[in-house]
Structure 1
Amino acid sequence: MQVIAFLSAPTGLGLRPPVPGSIPGTSKAPEALREAGLADRLLENHARDAGVIIPGRYVDDDATRPAGHVRNEKAMIDHARRLADRLDRVLEAGDTPLVIGGDCSILLGIGLALAKHSRSGLVHVDGHTDFRHPGNSDECASVAGEDLAAAVKMHWPAISNIDDKGPYFAPGRAAHIGHRENDEHAEEARQALGLVISAREATTAAPEDLAERAHAIAGAGYWLQIDVDVLDPAVMPAVDSPDPGGLDANELIALLEQLAPRAIGASVTVFDPDLDPEGGYALLVMNIIVSGLSRLGAAN
C-alpha cells in the first residue's frame, strides 16, 4: 500500500510583508491545518508524519536589499536545501510526500529534491502563473509570485540554479492550470511551458479531460503543486493575493482526484491563517486536501 508522508514547511520567506516590518501569516498554515484536524485525518488514512522543516528568520529588507536579489534569499536557499534533503529521504523510503506550506517558494526545495533524485514533470495548479522573472519585470523580489519561472530556470541563478541543479523541471514537462484571464504573464508562460490552462477554461472542462491534458505533458510521476488561491475568493479569501474568477471547492476537489493518483508527490501552499480568525477556511483547506489527495501516488 502506498504511504503518504506529510511534511510541514511553515515558511513565508517568499512573500512580501503584509505591511512594512511585518511577517506573512502563511508560516502559520501547517499548524493551523493541524489544529483543524488535518494530521488526524491523514493518520487515520495510514499516512505518516515526516516532520517539519523550520525556515530561517524572515527579514523585511526592502530598504537594504541590493539589486538582483529576492527577499530572504539566503534563508530561502538554505530552507530549499534542507527541504530537498528531507524529501530525498522520503522518496528513498518509497513513500509519497505531501508538503504542507507555507508559501509556494517551497517549490525550489521540491524541485531541487527531484533534480537530485530523478527528474519529473510538474503540474502547477495556481490562481496565478507565478511567471514573473527578471526578463519581464523590474519588480522581482517575492519568489511566491515567481516560483514557476524559477523552477524552469527563468530567474536569477541564485534561486533557479541552486547547486547547479536547474532547471528543476523541464519547461516542456510543466503544465499550469488556474490563472485568471488578466494574468499579465500568461501569454509568455503559454509560449515557454508545455501546457497553460486558465481558470475560466478549467471551470468549463471536465476534470478528467483537464487531467489527461496535464498527464500528456508532465508524464508519469510528476509533482503536483496546489496554491489555494486557485479558488475563487468568494470561497477562499484567506490568501495573499485573492483574485475573482477562480474555481469553487468541488471543482478543485474533482480536479485533484484526477491528478493525484499519478503524482509522485504534492504540495499545498499560500493559505494564511491570519486572514481566518474563526478557523472556517482552515477546515475548508483541510477537507480539500483529505478529499482531493486521498489517492496521492496510488497509480505509481
Structure 2
Amino acid sequence: MRIILAPSNLGLRPLRPGHEPGAWRAPAALMAAGLKSATDPGGIVELARPDYSAAAQPGTRLRNGPQMRRFNLVLADEVDRAVQDGRFALVVGGDCSVLLGALAGARRHGQLSLVHVDGHSDFRHPGNYDPASVLGAVAGMDLALATGRGEALMTDWPGVTGPLVQDRNVVQLGERESRDPDFAWPDVNLTEIERLDIFEARRIGMPAVVDRIRQTLDRLPGRGFWVHFDVDVLDQRIMPAVDSPGSPGLDVDEVVHVLGRCVAEPGCIGMTLTVFDPDLDPDGAYAAVIVDILSRLPLR
C-alpha cells in the first residue's frame, strides 16, 4: 500500500469572507495522529500544497479551476505509478476534488467502478444550477464531474476516453438529504447510479449494503474499482470536523464494515479520504477517530 498525501482545499468554498478552508491540513494532521504506524505503508508520497483563491478566474466558472487541474494531473500520475507498481493507493486529502485526479490515474488502466461513500451526493452540475450566478465548488460536484457532467477542465483527462466512470458503475452510499423536499440535485435520482441513502442503508443493514455494492461491481466483471470515503458520511456526533456536518449518519462500526469489505476485494485499486478539517479539531480527537477507522481496514 502506498499513501499519497494530497493537501488540497481547492474545491471548497470559503465559509465567510476571508476564510480559507483548513482541509489542506488534513494529511499532515492525520500523519501526526499516527497514520503511518496505523497502516504500515510501503511508501509515502507527499504532493506540494497548491495555492487557494476565492476569486473567479478567467475561462472557468469553477473556483480554483486551473490550479485544481494542475494539481490533479500530478495526483493522477502518482496513482498511475502506484497501480503500475501493484500498490493499493490511499489518497489522503484534502477536499473531494482529489477524487478526480485519483480516478484519472486509475482509469489509465481500464474501465472502473466507483463506490462513493459520502453524506452528500456531490451531484451539482450546470444542468441543475446556474454557473453564471455563482462559482462552482468542486467538492460538491465531484460525482457529477466523475460521471462526465460539467466543464471539460475537470471531465476530460489525458489517456481517458469518455467519463471517468459510467453512471451504471457507481454506488452512492450515505446521502442524508435525498428525501428532503428541497433536495438540491434531484436529477441524480433519474440516473443509473445505485443510490443507497442513509435511511435505506439503515433499513437493510450493512451486510445487505455490501451485497448491493457487489451487484454493481459485477456489472464490470474482472475490472477494478475505487472507493471514495468522505468523512462527513459519519454522523456529526462522531465527526463534526468537516465543513458540512449532519445527521443522521453512519457510525464508526458501520463505516468499518462497508469499507473493510470493499478494500479487501482484490479488484479494489485504491481509496480517497477527504474533507476532514483540522481547524475544527483543536485537540486532535477527530483525527484519532479517522486513524482508528483506517487501522481497522485490511489495507494492503
- TM over 0.5: same fold? yes
Alpha-carbon contact 2:112-2:224 (below 8 Å) kept = yes
2:275 to 251, 270, 275: 270
Q: Against the structure 1 CA distance between its residues 101 and 82, is the aligned structure 2 distance closer, same or farther, given a 3 Å change threshold? A: same
Q: Which has the higher contact order (CA 8 A, sep 6+)?
A: 2
Matched residues in 1 for 2:53 and 2:255: separation? 34
TM superposition shift of 1:140: 5.1
Q: Does the Cα contact within 8 Å between 1:178 and 1:197 map onto a contact in 2?
A: yes
Aligned to 2:199: 200
CA distance in 2, matches of 1:49, 1:13: 25
Render the CA deviation track for 1:72-115: whole Å, top value 9, x for unaligned.
00110001100000111110001111111100100110121122
Determine which of 46, 58, 67 is the counterpart of 2:52: 58
Q: 2:163 matched to 1:167?
A: yes
Pair 1:225 & 2:233 matched: no
What amino acid is the match of 1:8?
A: L
Write the deviation string for residues 278-300 of structure 1: whole angstroms up to 9, x where unpaired: 11000001111121x3246xxxx
Confirm whether residue 36 of structure 1 aligns to residue 33 of structure 2.
yes
Query: SS of the counterpart of 1:179?
Result: coil
Aligned residues: 287
Question: After alignment, is 232-241 or 245-254 more displaced?
Answer: 245-254
Q: 1:286 aligns with which of 281, 284, 291?
A: 291
Question: Which of 156, 165, 178 pairs up with 2:151?
Answer: 156
Q: How far off its partner does 1:261 sit?
A: 1.3
Distance, in Å, in 2 between the alignment partners of 1:90 and 1:232 is 32
1:187 deviation in Å? Answer: 3.9
1:130 to 117, 122, 129: 122
Which amino acid in 1 is paired with 2:224? Answer: G
RMSD between superposed Cα atoms in Å: 1.7
2:8 is matched with which residue? Answer: 11
CA displacement, residues 42-96 of structure 1 (integer Å, 9 cap, x when unaligned): 12xxx222311224210110xx445852010011000110000011111000111
The structure with the largest helix share of the pair is: 1
The SS at the match of 2:116 is: strand
Q: Secondary structure at the match of 1:23?
A: coil
Structure-1 separation of matches of 2:10 and 2:141: 13
- Check whether the contact 1:70–1:140 (CA below 8 A) recurs between aligned residues: yes
**Range moving further from structure 2, 26-35 or 219-228:** 219-228
SS in structure 2 opposite 1:83? Answer: helix
Residue 68 of structure 2 aligns to a residue whose secondary structure is: helix
SS of the residue aligned with 2:174? Answer: strand
8 Å Cα contact 2:108/2:159 also seen in 1:
no
Query: What is residue 211 of structure 1 aligned with on the other side?
Result: 210
Deviations along 1:143-202, one digit per CA (max 9) or x if unpaired, are 000000000001111111234734011111011000013372564223223301101122
Report deviation, 1:17. 1.5
Structure 2: how far apart are the matches of 1:265 and 1:85?
14
Moved more, 82-91 or 195-204: 195-204
